[in-house]
Structure 1
Amino acid sequence: MKKLFVIVTFVCSFFCYAQTKISGIVRDQETKKPLHGASIFAPQTTNGGATDETGLFSFTLIEGQTQVLISYVGYESVIVPASSFTATDKSNVIYLNPIVNNLKEVVIKKISAKQREKYMEIFNREFIGLGKIAEKTKILNPEVIQFDMNKENTLLIVTADAPLQLINEKTGYFISYELVYFESKVLTEEHNQKLTTFFGYPFFKDIVNEKELNTKDVTKTRLKCYKGSTMHFIRSLYNGTMESEGFTVLKFTRELNPDYPSQDSINRMMDAFRRNGKIPQIPAKHKIIYDKNHQKVHQLVFEREGKKYFYFTDFLSVVFRRAKEENKYTEYYHQSEADYQTSQLKLMEDTPIEIFADGTYAEVDYLGSFGYMGWKKMGEMLPFDYQPEPVVPN
């Protein structure tokens, strides 16, 4: 399996500049020879490039891009703080280690073609998504994907031996995705709902000109992906424009419903259903109690030492009133058309998270997204240097 390493330096903080030019040389750790064609990019953006025949790279980072990822086929990828490149009195040399396959440590589990097809279907649904835009995404190198399912068939773990290569001509992007981890867990206590978490480092390449795509159609699709997205919401929090951009936010709590039946009662209901075909009326496990007043930006965001933080307790209901939910989503979750996009947010750790102007936020696994935001996956993901463009009418 391809490993991902983080280079640790003695720099205690990151420095953000409007523009920062970085350069360096990528070499093989063992031979010290330069690596021609190594990929280097700011994760989750379209900003990057490759090394020349001498291993040299040079490009410009914009404000908020604090890391670069360097990868090369057959080598362990590394994440390097952008601040490491600010020194001008020394040569910036990055050494990559060749991947060593230690067969003694690797247990290869054979799965049938039918099992692989089933796991790939789960991966496509939970990683790429099911929307009309997302379903146009193609994985160009599925052979690098490895699956591992536990004995109880409740936890699917996915790894990749090389960066995943994705393409979506609807959004106009080719994506190289360094998958760090992917887990999809069945929550038996929540009526077998799935909790999927994944993390990685995508690099976006604009393919509109290369594929001769219709610019107007791509612009319209990207704007549709952006409106109401987590990135859009975080940007509106940072800029203090949450309400004016169409978001309405309410806090709510979940309390155990005292009328919720025991597991034994549910089992009896299901047995009766199998005998007579009558669908049991099982009440919701939790009661939702909403606050009466809408949340304002100043109640959710505070500033400290020039940095902005997002914090709330319990849960947030986030409604985006300027777009409807996709039919596929409403049919599955509501059975009826919804006028607005409705999502839920929860802080997985009781601590504020720093937010940034481009819509990113620190400690990505601290913020849980459910509902419509959670339904949107990689197939509708945009780079964080994306800026909305107006759609030109005919």
Structure 2
Amino acid sequence: MKNRFFLLGILFPSLILAQITIKGNVYESNSPIENVAVYLNNTMLGTTTNKEGEFQLKVNEGEYELIVSYLGFKKINYRLNTVNYTKPLRFDLVENENVLNEIVIKKTVYNETWKHNLASFKQEFIGLTNLAEDCEILNPEVLHFEFDYKQNKFTAFARKPLKIRNNGLGYLITYELEDFTKINNYVSYLGYSRYENLKGGKRKKKRWELNRKIAYNGSVVHFLKSLMNNTFTEEGFIVNQFKRVLNKKRPTEEAIEKARALIRFSRIGSINVKRNIDNPKTALDSAYAIVRKSRLPKFEDYLYKSQLKQADIISQKDNQYYLIFDDNLSIVFTKEKEELRFLRRELFSKRTTPLTQTSSFIPLKPNIIIDERGILKEPLSAYYEGYWSYEKFANSLPLDYAPNPKL
């Protein structure tokens, strides 16, 4: 069974040019507010306001997503472009009358169901990788869960920002969860994060630095940056192209539903549902044969072009790159093997030997834009399968992370 994963809410800082100090004030009803969090999303750059509501941040020239956040007030998401910055910024907070969805306002019962949902949330959000073992949510009690059985939809809400300690990568992360949804095998989450380094001695710092490099290698961020620089081949990526078509051996959804209805209606006597029915003699035999075939995958993938070049994947116009390939991409990272946990994530996996990491890039619209910093302008315009869907929040790095070339 394939897992699909949407990577949401990610922006990359621009290349280092020069530093600039961003100053500003935060008010509520014209009164300054102290201790308001002001940070650049998904980076290690952040601060809080002083008694006068003032803040300042030293940043490199470029475009950023500046977040102004204070509990009980609407979050401010400001597109900061240092080129246009000329005077101190002013932000006026507005009280959030609907701080929480009505569902979240309901009292959370910390029973066995909640514990089960928490475990499911950790699996889909934190992940199952080696690094996930050392990644801990410090305040899980702020989470509230809902499950819609009709839609097979699992959602999570957070009353306060999540505090996440990643002992594998050496970060303390404040994560403001905006949305977490799982429908069938499709998982998406959106949030704003601020990273801080954990304290540790030389040995710990060396281990963290090595783990960060391992987490970066072969990641979506690594691939996009190397694609922009046209160095993806020498950095270990092989990009192939494949078409996804309906599996003709699998019955249609309409036929499957009719077969299931007939079986439900005809459940009398003793029927051996496990026996093979190569030549159905009755309508009920045919129904069981159809239901068995419903276990076949809905789609089949056909590789038709291998080892793509940069010109096969993207084109450039006005400092933006456009994805121009047809169908889908299969991306192989040859410099690292799969983790054993990746093989064990499915109960009936037959493979025991790790292979090179393989992921699929599935676009949901044509002409997806990547700007000069190497980001998808619309994160929901594509989703990932394979190894990239396995590596989740426990393997995420701040976007101002730069790998050490000496490692």
Q: Give me the TM-score of the superposition, normalised by structure 2.
A: 0.80
Matched, 1:345 2:361: yes
Counterpart for residue 139 of structure 1: 137
Counterpart for residue 272 of structure 1: 273
Contact 2:242 2:304 in 1 (8 A): yes
Specify which of 187, 203, 219 is matched with residue 196 of structure 1: 187
Kindly report which structure 2 residues correspond to 1:75-86, keeping only aligned pairs within 5 A, or say none. 75-83=73-81, 86=84
Matched, 1:330 2:343: yes
Contact 2:336 2:356 in 1 (8 A): yes
Shift of 1:26: 1.0
Specify which of 144, 156, 164 is matched with residue 154 of structure 2: 156
Specify which of 33, 43, 46 is matched with residue 45 of structure 1: 43
Letter matched to residue 225 of structure 1: A
Kindly report which structure 2 residues correspond to 1:28-107, keeping only aligned pairs within 5 A, or say none. 28=28, 30=29, 32-83=30-81, 86-88=84-86, 91-100=88-97
Note the residue ranges of structure 1 that are not aligned, 5 or more in a row.
Answer: 1-13, 187-193
Cα distance in 2 for partners of 1:104, 1:233 equals 37
Are residues 271 and 390 of structure 1, via their aligned partners in 2, closer, same or farther at CA, if it must alter by over 3 Å?
farther
Cα distance in 2 for partners of 1:44, 1:286 equals 35
Shift of 1:111: 5.0
91-100 or 335-344, which deviates more:
91-100
Kindly report which structure 2 residues correspond to 1:4-43, keeping only aligned pairs within 5 A, or say none. 18-28=18-28, 30=29, 32-43=30-41
Counterpart for residue 401 of structure 2: 386
Cα distance in 1 for partners of 2:55, 2:101 equals 37
Are residues 140 and 352 of structure 1, via their aligned partners in 2, closer, same or farther at CA, if it must alter by over 3 Å?
same
Cα distance in 2 for partners of 1:39, 1:208 equals 21
Cα distance in 1 for partners of 2:246, 2:310 equals 29
Shift of 1:49: 1.4
Letter matched to residue 140 of structure 2: P
Shift of 1:356: 4.2
Q: Give me the TM-score of the superposition, normalised by structure 1.
A: 0.83
Shift of 1:34: 1.5
Cα distance in 1 for partners of 2:242, 2:345 equals 23
Matched, 1:312 2:320: no
Contact 2:132 2:395 in 1 (8 A): yes
Coordinate RMSD, CA, aligned: 3.0
Are residues 143 and 258 of structure 1, via their aligned partners in 2, closer, same or farther at CA, if it must alter by over 3 Å?
same
Any idea what SS the aligned residue of 2:332 has? strand
Contact 1:312 1:347 in 2 (8 A): no
Are residues 371 and 252 of structure 1, via their aligned partners in 2, closer, same or farther at CA, if it must alter by over 3 Å?
same
Cα distance in 1 for partners of 2:44, 2:310 equals 30
Contact 2:163 2:175 in 1 (8 A): yes
Contact 2:73 2:99 in 1 (8 A): no
Cα distance in 2 for partners of 1:57, 1:274 equals 71
Cα distance in 1 for partners of 2:132, 2:259 equals 36
150-159 or 232-241, which deviates more:
150-159
Matched, 1:377 2:368: no
Contact 1:38 1:51 in 2 (8 A): yes
Cα distance in 1 for partners of 2:235, 2:147 equals 42
Cα distance in 2 for partners of 1:157, 1:185 equals 9
Cα distance in 2 for partners of 1:26, 1:102 equals 19
Contact 1:68 1:81 in 2 (8 A): yes
Are residues 48 and 250 of structure 1, via their aligned partners in 2, closer, same or farther at CA, if it must alter by over 3 Å?
same
Counterpart for residue 312 of structure 2: 299
Are residues 329 and 183 of structure 1, via their aligned partners in 2, closer, same or farther at CA, if it must alter by over 3 Å?
same
Partner deviation per Cα, 1:48-101 (whole Å, 9 max, x = no partner): 21212211111122244422001123322211121389453x542211123335
Cα distance in 2 for partners of 1:119, 1:111 equals 12
Specify which of 205, 214, 217 is matched with residue 196 of structure 2: 205
Letter matched to residue 295 of structure 1: L
Contact 1:313 1:347 in 2 (8 A): no
Percent identity for Structure 1 against Structure 2: 28
Partner deviation per Cα, 1:99-138 (whole Å, 9 max, x = no partner): 3358996662765612211211111011110111022111
Cα distance in 2 for partners of 1:356, 1:133 equals 31
Shift of 1:314: 1.4
Shift of 1:311: 3.6
365-374 or 328-337, which deviates more:
328-337
Any idea what SS the aligned residue of 1:323 has? strand
Letter matched to residue 185 of structure 1: I
Partner deviation per Cα, 1:231-283 (whole Å, 9 max, x = no partner): 10111111111111100011101122222246379968x972499xxxx7854
Contact 2:61 2:82 in 1 (8 A): no
Contact 2:180 2:189 in 1 (8 A): yes
Are residues 37 and 241 of structure 1, via their aligned partners in 2, closer, same or farther at CA, if it must alter by over 3 Å?
same
Cα distance in 1 for partners of 2:209, 2:146 equals 38
Contact 1:172 1:213 in 2 (8 A): no
Cα distance in 2 for partners of 1:342, 1:79 equals 35
Contact 1:311 1:353 in 2 (8 A): no
Contact 2:368 2:376 in 1 (8 A): no
Contact 1:320 1:342 in 2 (8 A): yes
Specify which of 208, 225, 230 is matched with residue 215 of structure 2: 225
Letter matched to residue 113 of structure 1: N
